[in-house]
């Protein structure tokens, strides 16, 4: 299957966000990916706007929208026009005072195949996401887990979001539920006050942990990160997003990787049959000691 990742440089003006320009740019880059034969296109986290979580500001909630809503409908119309599957990332208004960081999956016919609400929410300097986002539901009314793949015409997509990518439990639960690909729309970058060595350690850790999810679960991993420098709206240091979007195979092997400071559409062919072949020689799911893992449901084992 030919897939594409969109690594986008977000438009910013002195008066703030240009939501229309950024969404239009996302759609243009999806068109470019489809022109190169992509059947599945993954956009980066919160691609409509600047990364607004650098500060806490109640006026920012005005950026949120319902799902289904205007942006998901435009993504769906493009998916239908191009006959592809699109994974987008939106700031969802679920109800007054209840907001989520939500990935949407649009099917080839333009319908909403499913959504995933980010489960792990960070709260660090420059990444004040707990102020804005409610964690996704652990279980839904029909009993299925928040870590449930979304069935599409190109396979069962294990969609997770950014901070989720550091948690092996999230990737494992998606794999156990039958995910055929792991997808991570992302917004992560450097504090420019950190020295070069620290920046390199952070980037290496980010890449390594996600490749390890591919190895541990015998699945391809798709990671779309944003790029470029985004200033902080209230005079902070800003964030240099580090790009490096990549695709790796079920043994963690790089299939494609973008640079750190360039907007790009990364297109690559993924052999979806390799996962079964790899799992036959590395049968991690067979050898799991599920009878001994009860303590994983605890916060800490005292």
Instruction: Report, as residue numbers or ranges, the catalytic residues.
Output: 45, 118, 162
Contact indicator for 88, 133 with CB cutoff of 8 Å: no
Bridge partners of 93? 99
Contact indicator for 258, 266 with CB cutoff of 8 Å: yes
CA diameter of the chain: 57
Q: Among 263, 255, 189, 187, which residue's Cα sits nearest to residue 221? A: 255
User: In terms of DSSP bridges, do strands 181-186 and 221-225 run parallel, antiparallel, or are they unpaired?
Assistant: parallel
Residue with tokens 């541990």: 216
Q: Among 157, 156, 144, 140, which residue's Cα sits nearest to residue 103? A: 157
The gap from C-alpha 276 to its chain's centroid, in whole angstroms, comes to 24
């Amino acid at each position: 299957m030919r897939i594409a990742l969109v690594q986008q440089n977000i438009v910013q003006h002195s008066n703030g966000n240009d939501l229309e320009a950024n969404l239009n740019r996302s759609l243009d880059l999806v068109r470019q990916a489809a022109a190169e034969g992509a059947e599945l296109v993954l956009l980066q986290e919160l691609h409509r706007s600047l990364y607004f979580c650098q500060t806490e500001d109640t006026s920012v909630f005005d950026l949120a929208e319902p799902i289904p809503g205007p942006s998901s409908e435009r993504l769906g119309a493009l998916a239908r026009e191009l006959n592809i599957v699109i994974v987008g990332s939106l700031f969802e208004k679920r109800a007054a005072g209840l907001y989520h960081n939500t990935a949407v999956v649009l099917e080839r016919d333009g319908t909403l195949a499913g959504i995933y609400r980010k489960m792990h929410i960070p709260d660090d300097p420059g990444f004040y996401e707990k102020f804005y986002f409610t964690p996704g539901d652990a279980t839904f009314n029909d009993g299925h887990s928040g870590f449930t793949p979304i069935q599409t015409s190109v396979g069962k997509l294990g969609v997770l979001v950014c901070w989720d990518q550091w948690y092996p439990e999230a990737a494992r639960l998606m794999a156990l539920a039958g995910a055929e690909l792991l997808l991570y729309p992302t917004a992560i970058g450097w504090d420019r006050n950190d020295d070069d060595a620290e920046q390199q350690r952070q980037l290496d850790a980010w890449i390594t942990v996600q490749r390890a999810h591919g190895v541990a679960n015998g699945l391809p991993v798709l990671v779309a990160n944003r790029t470029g420098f985004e200033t902080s709206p209230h005079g902070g240091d800003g964030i240099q997003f580090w790009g490096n979007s990549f695709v790796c195979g079920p043994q963690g092997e790089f299939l494609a990787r973008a640079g750190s400071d360039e907007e790009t559409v990364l297109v690559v062919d993924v052999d979806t049959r390799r996962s079964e072949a790899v799992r036959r020689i590395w049968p991690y799911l067979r050898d799991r000691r599920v009878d001994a893992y009860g303590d994983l449901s605890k916060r800490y084992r005292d």
